[in-house]
């Protein structure tokens, strides 16, 4: 046997002998620990006043916790963390009652070890240092006793958190606070007292973030001033300054404590500590500065705090940090916070515009019945007489559905709310108030779960939108043939009992005369009841065509007219709140983007820092900057306003005719003025004011939604008179969302008229030095927003040409006139065998048509149209989400295309499509609402026929299919845009993930609502399956997706969200979205629908959730996948957005 073998054998024998020795030692140690805690329990019961015994026991426990043997320390901690041992209660009782300083010192040291992390001892033993030490030991020693498994660290941290919660529950916070007050009052200069005070501060620092009532407990026990004195006396002590700042930050979250902190003069102390930021090292420097700045931000929430900070000395201290801040990425967040504190504590600066918007719409005439919600097919003179009658009858019959909650923001309203409510509504409100005391599920069952069903007498009107199913009698027979009952619901309300009086007959005749279009009236009303006017409109029934449009806006437009001419004609006929002066050139030319890859923006830290510091400097020294207004929409509107302020504000340009002369303008000689010129008085434009603040820098203020003072995000405006090669800075200063994709790679879009004339037309992503941050402008006259600041999105643009006309927008615009022009285009170039009908579903509040499209294949004996499934699609309920319209454009382009797949899709389904729900918001450049200052996607549960006609009648169509036609839509999908996430994804509804317990009880069929997203994942490279969510949240109950799912029973009810920005996964990762991508998503959705019920293909898709909760595909059978799609699965579970922000702010997600 060799020497090496002997050595190996001997070492193995030594290890075998050492194992039982270590095991016996641990058993003996655990027995000693049990004995020690048993002595503590007996002491507590028999001799609680014996100071010597308590001192000895606590000293032994403390020595075990500070032992170098990790097993001894760990076993002791386990005993203390165990709730069943009762050790914490005993130690607290001794600490509260003892007068012996050494005993109290030992107990506070024990509690610090139990509740605080190891690094709290002031030693340099953070995780990286500890692991590095372990590695050094491993190189010297092969034994495993010194290794600290990562799982043990996680278990210890979890045990500490649970122990802290238990400590708080047994009033440990109050005991520690009282002990601190007593200890600080001694001030005997003893070293033990000072160590005890340090331990108490660290204990409170660990409890403060976990105790929700920490600030109140400190205040009620009178410890706020004590904390101030401790901080004042130890602000140079590096061992205790950090936990003190943690405590102060938690106290500052309470307004009452804020007042006491300000009164004690703590602001000066905090700024003295902050001014010494360069004396700290490493991560501790960042932590100390961050806690001070967060505390100052909380103090700025009260007026006294702002007054205390708004002194020349304090502002200079903060501004000095801005100039001396190191140019390192980890300091960017601190710089943003310092700038935020400066802007908060300065004198409130309001936006240089009036609080009220120049775009105001008088709703009084509509509420009094001078506007019809149903489309009328009469001549203009007869329509004027019948409109008021229609609305009056709606108000009487449908009063319970009228919701005017969103109208209380208009000060000029003088209507009586009770005129719109019936007695039954008042009774139902009383029931709701009584149910408010019940549980959440009981309230929800009254308010949300019970469907707000329409009266059948009201639903019968909607049969006119289903002419593809034949005459009215034929619809009745078809429903009867599908049901096994004796009669039909339709017969019940169309042919009432003969006991009905003449009044009922006349009301029915009036309703049908007013609201029904081209219908078989003789079969409905009986012979001899139709008027001569109705006889004139029966010609459409006899002449069956594949394409039919009854939209008035298309009247007298020749089919040989060019796209731009048709667009100008339609735009001229559109009614707006603010008078338009031109047609935007990009929209007139089709509005497409250039189909080439455009990478996401990479944020330049140095440029963002400079812009942030420039914003602060402008707030401090406004007189050093230019302040010349170059565009003022308020002034332009007041000059052209009607002298009669009570008249309805509605403008139509039919008398003058809107055109565009940009191509002629760019050929004119320019004098090269030193300033740009702006314009936004065109469809979807919304620039309110432009102020020149530098030679090539402009502050832009966006117009709020109509009848509103907020909701600023969408922008679309024109710029002229620029010079090539000189970057211009644009600062949009009244944004509201706390974070934006502009901080994560998004660029605005730009359209150059000269580029278009030179043969390169299209929108492109443009801009550099883009960032998004808080500015010094405060909200004006807003409840609960008195201290809220606006945010700025800033970008530089280097224009490609001199003397150009350039359009800049938030996203690719898609106007109402463009949609109507596209419908006109499709109606002229239909493939053979297809069926398209375009008709007005209703009229908006400003009398613009809301189109409804019906798309399918022609009815044939082999494929009857009545046997086809129905797919219902809607889009653009939020006007600022123009990407939704581009996706819908792709869907319609695919459905009406000549391909074999499109023909198969038309032969399989009947599509009912409302391509633009909020036409008024789109026309007038709104971001979220329409003319009523209400989010229409929060009105689906109970829409008003007067205030929300498009939502009311769209829901009525779906309800007609469900309750009357007895054939719910196979799929309902509402197209949206998402401003916080990347990619394209779905929101669906799963009962198992609902907030309501009643939903979770009912068994789910996941295959029904998961199949369409899975097909989209396999078909569309832009789709991100991992971003899909199927939660049903309480605050989303009134959205289209949840209402159609819950109230109307459509299992496949979705919201399809498309990003404004781009992609962070899949083959397009790292690139922007363009119009081609969005249109492709719409066509891919059609392809997914084609495979939804396709039993011929053997598709087996298995889905699961990864550790981040994202849906991923785990197995695919029966279909081939290319490499691109395989790579997409691999990245679908990537968390986060793949990019980070230099000036990242808080996030408040808003979808649907």
User: Annotated catalytic sites, by residue?
Assistant: 1057
| Cα–Cα nearest to 818, from 873, 888, 757 | 888
Handedness of CA 150, 154, 159, 160 (dihedral sign): positive
Specify the residue for token string 């027995």.
31
Rounded CA separation 143/1112 (Å): 43
Specify the residue for token string 């045990």.
159
Q: How far is CA 839 from CA 252, 390, 555, 652, in A?
A: 60, 19, 12, 21
List beta partners, residue 1062: 1072
Angle at CA of residue 899, ends 895 and 903, nearest 5°: 60
Q: How far is CA 99 from CA 46, 89, 540, 860, in A?
A: 18, 18, 100, 98
56-61 LR contacts (CB < 8 Å, sep 24+): 58/91, 58/94, 58/103, 58/106, 58/107, 58/110, 59/102, 59/106, 60/36, 61/36, 61/37, 61/106, 61/110
| Cα–Cα nearest to 453, from 1053, 1050, 1047 | 1047
Rounded CA separation 1084/1108 (Å): 27
| Cα–Cα nearest to 598, from 59, 9, 1073 | 1073
List beta partners, residue 1056: 975, 986
List beta partners, residue 717: 808
DSSP character for 348? P
Rounded CA separation 750/759 (Å): 16
Rounded CA separation 1069/600 (Å): 9
**CB contact at 8 A, 586 and 763:** yes
Structure tokens at 1135: 């968390």
Rounded CA separation 79/76 (Å): 5
Element (H, E) at 677: strand 677-679
Specify the residue for token string 């150009």.
804
Rounded CA separation 999/991 (Å): 5
Interacting residues of 917 by C-beta distance below 8 A, sequence separation 6+: 850, 874, 875, 876, 877, 936, 950, 951, 954
Rounded CA separation 983/25 (Å): 59
Alpha helices of 1047-1118 — where are they, by DSSP H? Answer: 1075-1090
Rounded CA separation 124/137 (Å): 17
Angle at CA of residue 679, ends 673 and 683, nearest 5°: 160
How long a stretch of residues is the chain?
Answer: 1152
777-783 LR contacts (CB < 8 Å, sep 24+): 777/349, 777/350, 777/351, 777/733, 777/734, 778/348, 778/349, 778/350, 780/350, 780/351, 780/355, 781/355, 781/709, 782/709, 782/710
Rounded CA separation 458/444 (Å): 26
Strand locations in 315-395, DSSP E?
349-350
């Amino acid at each position: 046997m060799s020497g090496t073998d002997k050595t190996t054998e001997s070492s193995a024998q030594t290890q075998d002998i050492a194992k039982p020795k270590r095991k016996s030692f641990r058993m003996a140690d655990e027995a000693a620990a049990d004995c020690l805690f048993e002595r503590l329990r007996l002491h507590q019961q028999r001799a609680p006043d014996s100071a010597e015994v308590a001192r000895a026991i606590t000293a032994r426990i403390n020595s075990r916790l500070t032992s170098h043997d990790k097993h001894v320390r760990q076993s002791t901690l386990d005993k203390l963390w165990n709730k069943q041992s009762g050790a914490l209660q005993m130690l607290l009782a001794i600490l509260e009652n003892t007068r012996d300083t050494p005993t109290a010192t030992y107990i506070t040291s024990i509690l610090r070890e139990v509740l605080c992390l190891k690094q709290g001892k002031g030693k340099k033993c953070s995780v990286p240092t500890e692991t590095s030490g372990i590695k050094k030991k491993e190189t010297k020693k092969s034994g495993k006793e010194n290794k600290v498994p990562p799982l043990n660290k996680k278990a210890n941290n979890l045990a500490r958190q649970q122990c802290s919660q238990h400590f708080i529950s047994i009033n440990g916070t109050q005991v520690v606070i009282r002990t601190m007050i007593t200890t600080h009052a001694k001030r005997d200069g003893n070293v033990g007292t000072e160590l005890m005070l340090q331990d108490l501060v660290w204990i409170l620092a660990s409890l403060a973030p976990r105790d929700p009532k920490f600030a109140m407990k400190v205040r009620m026990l009178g410890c706020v001033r004590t904390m101030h004195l401790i901080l004042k006396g130890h602000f140079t002590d590096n061992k205790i300054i950090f936990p003190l700042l943690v405590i102060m930050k938690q106290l500052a979250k309470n307004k009452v404590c804020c007042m006491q902190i300000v009164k004690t003069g703590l602001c000066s102390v905090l700024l003295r500590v902050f001014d010494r930021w360069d004396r700290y090292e490493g991560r501790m420097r960042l932590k100390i500065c961050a806690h001070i700045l967060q505390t100052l931000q909380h103090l700025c929430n009260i007026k006294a705090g702002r007054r205390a900070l708004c002194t020349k000395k304090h502002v200079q201290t903060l501004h000095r940090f801005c100039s001396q801040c190191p140019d390192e990425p980890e300091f960017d967040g601190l710089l943003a916070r310092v700038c935020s504190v400066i802007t908060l504590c300065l004198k409130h600066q309001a936006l240089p515009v009036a609080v009220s918007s120049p775009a105001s719409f008088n709703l009084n005439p509509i509420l009094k019945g001078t506007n019809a919600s149903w489309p009328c097919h009469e001549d203009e003179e007869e329509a004027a007489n019948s409109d008021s009658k229609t609305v009056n009858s709606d108000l009487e019959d449908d009063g319970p559905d009228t919701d005017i909650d969103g109208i209380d923001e208009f000060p000029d309203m003088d209507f009586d709310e009770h005129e719109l409510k019936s007695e039954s509504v008042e009774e139902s409100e009383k029931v709701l108030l009584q149910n408010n005391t019940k549980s959440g599920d009981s309230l929800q069952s009254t308010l949300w779960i019970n469907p707000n069903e329409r009266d059948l007498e009201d639903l019968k009107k909607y049969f006119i939108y289903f002419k593809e199913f034949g005459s009215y009698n034929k619809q009745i027979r078809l429903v009867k043939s599908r049901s096994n009952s004796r009669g039909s619901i339709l017969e019940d309300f169309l042919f009432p009992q003969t006991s009905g009086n003449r009044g009922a007959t006349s009301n029915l005749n009036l309703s049908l005369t007013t609201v029904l279009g081209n219908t078989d009236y003789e079969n409905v009303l009986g012979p001899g009841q139709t008027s001569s006017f109705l006889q004139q409109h029966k010609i459409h029934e006899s002449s069956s065509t594949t394409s039919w449009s009854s939209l008035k806006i298309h009247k007298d437009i020749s089919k040989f007219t060019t796209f731009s001419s048709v667009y100008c004609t339609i735009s001229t006929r559109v009614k707006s709140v603010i008078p338009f002066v031109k047609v935007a050139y990009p929209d007139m030319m089709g509005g497409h983007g250039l189909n080439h890859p455009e990478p996401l923006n990479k944020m330049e830290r140095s440029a963002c820092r400079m812009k942030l510091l420039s914003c602060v400097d402008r707030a401090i020294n406004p007189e050093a900057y230019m302040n010349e207004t170059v565009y003022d929409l308020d002034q332009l509107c007041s000059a052209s306003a009607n002298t009669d302020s009570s008249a309805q504000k509605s403008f139509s340009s039919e008398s003058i005719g809107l055109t565009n002369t940009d191509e002629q303008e760019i050929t004119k000689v320019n004098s090269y003025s030193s300033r740009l010129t702006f314009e936004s008085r065109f469809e979807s434009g919304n620039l309110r004011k432009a102020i020149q603040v530098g030679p090539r820098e402009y502050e832009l203020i966006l117009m709020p939604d109509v009848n509103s003072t907020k909701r600023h995000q969408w922008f679309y405006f024109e710029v002229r008179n620029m010079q090539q090669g000189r970057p211009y800075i644009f600062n949009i200063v009244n944004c509201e969302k706390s974070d934006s994709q502009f901080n994560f790679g998004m660029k605005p879009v730009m359209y150059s008229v000269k580029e278009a004339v030179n043969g390169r037309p299209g929108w492109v992503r443009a801009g550099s030095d883009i960032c998004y941050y808080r500015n010094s402008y405060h909200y004006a006259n807003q409840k609960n927003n008195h201290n809220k600041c606006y945010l700025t999105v800033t970008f530089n643009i280097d224009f490609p040409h001199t003397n150009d006309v350039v359009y800049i927008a938030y996203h690719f615009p898609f106007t109402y006139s463009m949609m109507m022009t596209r419908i006109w285009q499709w109606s002229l170039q239909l493939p053979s065998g297809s069926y398209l009908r375009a008709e007005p579903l209703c009229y908006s509040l400003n009398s613009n048509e809301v189109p409804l499209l019906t798309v399918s294949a022609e009815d044939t004996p082999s494929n009857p149209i009545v046997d086809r499934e129905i797919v219902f699609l809607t889009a653009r309920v939020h006007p600022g989400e123009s990407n939704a319209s581009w996706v819908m454009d792709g869907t319609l382009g695919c459905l009406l295309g000549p391909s074999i797949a499109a023909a198969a899709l038309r032969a399989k389904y009947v599509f009912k499509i409302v391509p633009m729900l909020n036409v008024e918001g789109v026309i007038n450049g709104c971001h979220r609402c329409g003319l009523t200052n209400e989010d229409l996607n929060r009105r689906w549960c109970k829409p008003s026929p007067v205030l929300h006609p498009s939502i009311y009648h769209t829901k009525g169509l779906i309800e007609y299919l469900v309750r009357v036609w007895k054939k719910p839509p196979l799929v309902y999908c509402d197209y949206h845009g998402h401003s916080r996430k990347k990619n394209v994804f779905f929101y669906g509804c799963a009962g198992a993930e609902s907030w309501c317990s009643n939903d979770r009880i009912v068994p789910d069929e996941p295959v029904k609502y998961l199949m369409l997203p899975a097909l989209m994942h396999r078909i569309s490279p832009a789709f991100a399956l991992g971003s899909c969510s199927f939660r049903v949240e309480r605050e989303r109950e009134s959205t289209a997706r949840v209402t159609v799912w819950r109230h109307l029973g459509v299992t496949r009810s979705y919201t399809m969200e498309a990003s404004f920005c781009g992609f962070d996964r899949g083959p397009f990762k790292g690139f922007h979205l363009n119009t081609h991508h969005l249109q492709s998503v719409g066509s891919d959705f059609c392809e997914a629908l084609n495979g939804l019920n396709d039993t011929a293909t053997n598709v087996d898709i298995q889905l699961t959730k990864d550790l981040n909760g994202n849906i991923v595909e785990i197995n695919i059978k029966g279909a081939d996948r290319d490499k691109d799609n395989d790579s997409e699965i691999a990245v679908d579970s990537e968390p986060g957005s793949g990019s980070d922000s230099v000036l990242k702010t808080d996030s408040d997600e808003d979808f649907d």
